[in-house]
Amino acid sequence: MGKLYGYAGRILRLDLTHRSAVKIELPYDMARDFIGARGFGAKILWDEVKPGVDPLCPENKMILALSPLAGTAAQSFHRTFAMFKSPLTCGYFRSTGGGFFAAEVKSAGYDAIIIEGRAEKPTYVWIHDDDIEFRDAGHVWGATVDGATEILREETDKNARVLAIGPAGERLVRVACLVTDDYRTPGRGGGGAIWGSKNLKAIVALGTKKPELFNEDLFRELVKEQIDVYKRSPLFDAFHSLGTNSVVYQFYTLGHNPTYNFKNTELENAEIWRTEVLEKYVIKHYGCFTCMIACGKKWKLTKGPYAGLLWDFPEYETHWSLGSTCGITNLEAIAYANMLCDKYGLDTISTGAIVAFAMELYEKGILTDRETDGLRLRWGDGDAMVELVRKIALREGIGNILAEGTARAAEIIGRGAEKFAMHSKCLELPAYDPRAAKAHGLSYATSNIGGSHMIGWNKYEILGMPEKVDPLTVEGKGVLAKRVQDQIAAFEAAGWCAFAELVQTAGYGNVEKTMEWMGKVLYAATGIEEFKDPGYIWLVGERVYNVERAFNVREGMTRKDDWLPERLQKVPFPRDPARGQIFELDRLLDDYYAARGWDAKTGVPTRKKLEDLGLSYVADELEKLGKISS
Amino acid sequence: MGKLYGYAGRILRLDLTHRSAVKIELPYDMARDFIGARGFGAKILWDEVKPGVDPLCPENKMILALSPLAGTAAQSFHRTFAMFKSPLTCGYFRSTGGGFFAAEVKSAGYDAIIIEGRAEKPTYVWIHDDDIEFRDAGHVWGATVDGATEILREETDKNARVLAIGPAGERLVRVACLVTDDYRTPGRGGGGAIWGSKNLKAIVALGTKKPELFNEDLFRELVKEQIDVYKRSPLFDAFHSLGTNSVVYQFYTLGHNPTYNFKNTELENAEIWRTEVLEKYVIKHYGCFTCMIACGKKWKLTKGPYAGLLWDFPEYETHWSLGSTCGITNLEAIAYANMLCDKYGLDTISTGAIVAFAMELYEKGILTDRETDGLRLRWGDGDAMVELVRKIALREGIGNILAEGTARAAEIIGRGAEKFAMHSKCLELPAYDPRAAKAHGLSYATSNIGGSHMIGWNKYEILGMPEKVDPLTVEGKGVLAKRVQDQIAAFEAAGWCAFAELVQTAGYGNVEKTMEWMGKVLYAATGIEEFKDPGYIWLVGERVYNVERAFNVREGMTRKDDWLPERLQKVPFPRDPARGQIFELDRLLDDYYAARGWDAKTGVPTRKKLEDLGLSYVADELEKLGKISS
């Protein structure tokens, strides 16, 4: 092996218990086999987190990992990936957010940070190139993310980048997230609660190193190609001008954006999500490190009780979670609650889904004014939603139960509440109706992280691109779901942004070309020969996906956990274009396991599949645990 | 005349109507006669704003003016002074705030900025040394101060300093203020509404020039003396460790901190203002440009419904206005409402006093749930106070009436409401009871800006320093009130901070020494010979005070406007140490006019007095208007 260009070449192990920071040489094999980012997280979690560990105990770890292209001129590879055993799903989790933190960590000289142990008292870690300091965070413990960030930059360096938790994470709210640059969140799965459990308020990073590239000329040429493709992509303008807001109303008309906690699919006044309404709130575009798509928008509210707000806009998912699934069309309340989530450090998707769940329980009389301290949780009441978000963040009153997430809250509340908990593997479902897009829904059911829209976001079904696939048919959806999951796992092992990949794929007109380009640019940056072969990159995607699955198998998950709520399996979808559809779980699962080469009965990867993926050590361990037979 | 050292030497005239920026040479005579800051404001307003102008019309002007020592190494001379005809008092106003804006304007090359006219649409002015740009502010119009500030720094220079208004100023709330550095506010008198009326959202300044000094060695020596005196001052530690919070409980025990809208002077649970309680909230000290006192404190809330807040602390006055005068001892609600005031751009003193007024009207049944849209304005309810602050800022419901200030709101509401409007010249009274400190109260009644604690803050009566004066006696209080008003006018013509002057005077043990030091340092900076004579500095103080008074006389004010509410004149103070005291208005006024050399019947400065002060041109104009006889 030669020098690992593109990579910083080091992993930083932060042991909070012993306040030790150890720099480990990046293993060449890991770089080759898992590329980076999500791939590194999957591999390190498999190697280091033993089964059965309580996610909120010191023994759990969080891996922050970056793209080998982080901090370079390549577009949109600068996301922070956070992998951990989730306090929500109790399984493998990957969460990702944009901004500038990843590029800064790379410039400081690290490809990944392993966070382990538990600090004795509130702590933040100040990474300044080779210097690592564990510092007291008592003064900012309890503060909102934006407030704490400002203080920490003042006392380190005003150009430093901060990844932090808010009061929700400190209170171990199971849907608490990490936040950077005020708005950018590795949001889902409760990573914020893990930091809270470890007494870790923030990591502050500042770096001065420039990433080295294996073949600068080739790299430059490929980045130029990327920029050209972005520019000519039919999706570029929409993403650039309105970000994910460009599709809110469009997806609503397609039957996504389920309403009233998936009870319905229609909503009076949904026209407020038309682009011509939403664009009026936008006063500024902003992007992550170097990214020309700049999908971030700043919104301003000038009317109503929340007037004065100037903050990041609600993304597509947030319009749904704090909006349509609660029957709410009060855009001002949605924008304000979105801000509260950023300040308190809450995942907007799960938080909104929890509010919808609580509103349905209130409608059914399972929750009453007695439990809510008089807060009337009526469908469509934006102000009540805002107040409940605050209560969840601070674990106040009923918020203390709801902070456990829908699945656990349903168990605590009892009285049939579990029927209304719309989750999969305890992760609240996001803004697409599985009945109206079967492969996409199949990915909710089978995803390694539970009900996530990102793990298998099905552009074929939802956008009809790069080629159109009928979203309502069942046939071939196992193969399609697997294909998309592996694609995304590959793109995310490379640390790429999903929107950006979508823009580039739309520009090329097919995924193969995108994968080929990505392999080449990874090669140009790193010098790893294998990356030149697009087939190899696909293989890495599948490898990552299977290691993640194996992690969950080792934790005890099986086919029974690949599940969607009864409502989606039994109640026919009520309107066009998906009228009458249900989600055919069992049939779709059979198809999927066959496509995956997994055991149809247990949903466990076979030894053959694992060996084909170069994962015989995974197979050996699963066999030792009696999870698979030889 | 020679070069004017210390001064930038220029005034910037910003005509918003014509989008013109004219740089005017600083007149030597004005520098000599009025020193700077408040002095310049008084003189320019007298010269340029004709009587009878509606404060919210384009013809009104705001003068931002600085100390000749702004931006130098001298301690605590870096405040922004804003002078204007007030939309609240309809008379002369001076308002002042700390931070970094003044030093930046000085570095850009200006001693004062005259703001006049009205922009056609929302505008901000970007001052970068000699370059002045009028820029569109449509994108930040409607945004809170902190949000707008961030955007404007992003699009100008991240090191620029911003003075801005919030939604309250835009809505012409008559108690709206200017804000800089998130927390520092030229707060009183409605300056924010003036900017709103002029469509001026912000002034952004960045300068690169270093102030030139007449005698650097002497200047350095005097600054060294100042720092030594600060350090040995008996007040330094208290101001440094807790800022104005060091005296909240102490003043309460002295009978200041009136409670329940001046109806009472006691409050259950007032012990929450003991220093040992307040200091627990402090997580960080911060100061204005170069100031070692660093009286600013950042507070953090970790409990209760406002947990997560990390913001500037409530000052002494704010603990009273949003606290004791509303019967509120909920520190978290006070801190949160204080933050709202900074974000919306509201004067905390007037805003809290308005809430107290509304609470008393609610208690008396003059306001009911019908007028308040169901908001129960009960004494002591911190959450209701927070909500009412929001309504005032946004002019929502009853807030639209209260946004006019207590005096005008009382007129609109009628039904005897005026009895409960605790103001003088329509400026809401602050946190000291005039019955418990007669010279201090006399200054409320006679102040050129209405019920202000700063114009004549009586350290003799309140702190017993530099020498003790019995606060309850009437004798000699006219002379004392005049003396303190002139002192402060002199210190503020020099642009000094009142706390800092207090610290220095306590260090010397007498005011004369402070005045002497200040004259010398002004001379060392500017080279103006007259400043070497402390008697001359005293004279400038009296001159400034008389020009301001003349401005009000020209507007039609007379003795009848030197007034305090009936409650303070007729109801005996209910507890020790001021038990049984009332405020003897007429007697005190007679004494005061005599000390001032003003006409006892009208309260108008005599020609002789004006001529003694070198203000014969003022006398001439008043005579022409029939306000004084020759």
Mutate to test the interface with A, among B141, B283, B395 (most CBs of A within 10 A): B283
Give the distance from residue A374's alpha carbon to the nearest chain B alpha carbon, in angstroms: 15
Please tell me the predicted confidence (pLDDT) of residue A3: 81
Q: Which residues of A touch B307 (CB under 8 A)?
A: 142, 167, 394
Q: Which residues of A touch B143 (CB under 8 A)?
A: 283, 300, 308-310
Q: Please answer yes or no on whether B310 and A344 come within 8 Å at the CB atom.
A: no
Sorted by where each begins, the domain ranges of chain B are 10-206, 240-428, 434-496+533-624
Q: Which residues of A touch B393 (CB under 8 A)?
A: 308
Nearest to A307 among B140, B167, B283 (CB): B167
Q: Please answer yes or no on whether A305 and B148 come within 8 Å at the CB atom.
A: no
Nearest to B307 among A139, A142, A309 (CB): A142
Q: Please answer yes or no on whether B167 and A141 come within 8 Å at the CB atom.
A: no
3-class DSSP assignment, residue A122: coil
Nearest to B308 among A301, A311, A343 (CB): A343
Is residue B348 within 8 A of residue B338, CB to CB? The reply is yes
One-letter amino acid for residue B331 of the chain:
L
**What is the C-alpha to C-alpha distance for residues A140 and A143, in angstroms, rounded to an integer?**
5
DSSP characters over A195-239: HHHTTEEEEEEE--PPPP-S-HHHHHHHHHHHHHHHHH-TTHHHH
Give the distance from residue A299's alpha carbon to the nearest chain B alpha carbon, in angstroms: 10
The ipTM assigned to this model is 0.91
Please tell me the predicted confidence (pLDDT) of residue A256: 85
Q: Please answer yes or no on whether B300 and A390 come within 8 Å at the CB atom.
A: no
Q: Which residues of A touch B301 (CB under 8 A)?
A: 142
3-class DSSP assignment, residue B506: helix
Q: What is the DSSP letter of A36?
A: S
Please tell me the predicted confidence (pLDDT) of residue B629: 78
Nearest to B147 among A141, A310, A343 (CB): A310
User: What is the average pLDDT across B278-304?
Assistant: 96
pLDDT tens-digit map of B564-617: 999 999 999 999 899 999 999 999 999 999 999 999 999 999 999 999 999 999
Q: Please answer yes or no on whether B139 and A283 come within 8 Å at the CB atom.
A: yes
pLDDT tens-digit map of B380-435: 999 999 999 999 999 999 999 999 999 999 999 999 999 999 999 999 999 999 99
Within a 10 A sphere around the Cβ of B312, how many other Cβ atoms? 21
Please tell me the predicted confidence (pLDDT) of residue A238: 93
Q: Please answer yes or no on whether A139 and B283 come within 8 Å at the CB atom.
A: yes
| Percent of chain B predicted with pLDDT > 70 | 100
Give the distance from residue B310's alpha carbon to the nearest chain A alpha carbon, in angstroms: 5
Q: Does A302 touch chain B (CB under 8 A)?
A: yes
Q: Which residue of A has its CA nearest to B341?
A: A308
**What is the C-alpha to C-alpha distance for residues B301 and A147, in angstroms, rounded to an integer?**
11
| Percent of chain B predicted with pLDDT > 90 | 98
Cβ-Cβ contacts under 8 Å for B499 (sequence gap 6 or more): B76, B239, B244, B293, B295
Structure pTM? 0.94
pLDDT tens-digit map of B324-339: 999 999 999 999 999 9
Q: Please answer yes or no on whether B142 and A300 come within 8 Å at the CB atom.
A: yes
Q: Does B140 touch chain A (CB under 8 A)?
A: yes
- Confidence band for B254, pLDDT divided at 50, 70 and 90: confident
Mutate to test the interface with B, among A141, A310, A389, A392 (most CBs of B within 10 A): A310
Write out residues 387-426 of B within 8 Å (CB-CB) of A: 390, 393-394, 396
Q: Does B213 touch chain A (CB under 8 A)?
A: no
State yes or no: pLDDT of B1 exceeds 60.
no
Q: What's the average pLDDT block by block, 10 residues per block, for chain A (630 residues)?
A: 86 98 97 98 98 98 98 97 98 98 98 98 98 98 98 97 98 98 96 98 97 97 97 94 94 91 95 97 95 96 96 97 98 98 98 98 98 97 98 98 98 97 98 96 98 95 94 97 98 96 95 97 98 98 98 97 97 93 97 97 97 98 91
User: What is the average pLDDT across B59-87?
Assistant: 98
- Top-level CATH class of B10-206? alpha beta
Q: What is the CATH number of domain A240-428?
A: 1.10.569.10
Among candidate residues A532, A513, A518, A511, the one with its CA nearest the CA of residue A69? A518
State yes or no: pLDDT of B450 exceeds 70.
yes
Is residue B610 within 8 A of residue B604, CB to CB? The reply is no
Strands of the sheet containing B179-180, edge to edge, are B131-136, B123-128, B200-206, B161-164, B179-180
Alpha helices in A35-86, H assignment, sequence order: 37-48
Name the burial class of residue A400, with classes exposed (0-12), middle (13-18) and buried (19+) by CB atoms within 10 angstroms of its CB.
middle
Q: Which residue of B has its CA nearest to A388?
A: B305
State yes or no: pLDDT of B2 exceeds 90.
no
Max CA distance (Å), chain B: 68
The topology (CATH level 3) of B434-496+533-624 is 1.10.599
Q: Does B343 touch chain A (CB under 8 A)?
A: yes
Task: Please state the length of chain A.
Answer: 630
What is the radius of gyration, based on Cα positions, of chain B? Answer: 23
A269 conformational bin, left if phi > 0, alpha if psi -120 to 50, beta if neither? left
Q: Please answer yes or no on whether B394 and A308 come within 8 Å at the CB atom.
A: yes
Q: Which residue of A has its CA nearest to B149?
A: A310
Q: Please answer yes or no on whether B147 and A344 come within 8 Å at the CB atom.
A: no
Question: Does this chain's domain A10-206 share its CATH topology with A434-496+533-624?
Answer: no
Q: Which residues of A touch B142 (CB under 8 A)?
A: 300-302, 307-308
Nearest to A151 among B151, B308, B310 (CB): B310
**What is the C-alpha to C-alpha distance for residues A390 and A263, in angstroms, rounded to an integer?**
25
Please tell me the predicted confidence (pLDDT) of residue A101: 98
Nearest to A310 among B144, B284, B298 (CB): B144
Is residue A211 within 8 A of residue A6, CB to CB? The reply is yes
State yes or no: pLDDT of B256 exceeds 90.
no
Q: For every residue of B570-629, which 3-state class applies, written as one string?
A: HCCCCCCCCCCCCCCHHHHHHHHHHHHCECCCCCCECHHHHHHCCCHHHHHHHHHCCCCC
Please tell me the predicted confidence (pLDDT) of residue A254: 87
Q: Does B374 touch chain A (CB under 8 A)?
A: no
Q: Please answer yes or no on whether A167 and B283 come within 8 Å at the CB atom.
A: no
Cα atoms found within 13 Å of the Cα of residue A330, Cβ hemisphere only: 22
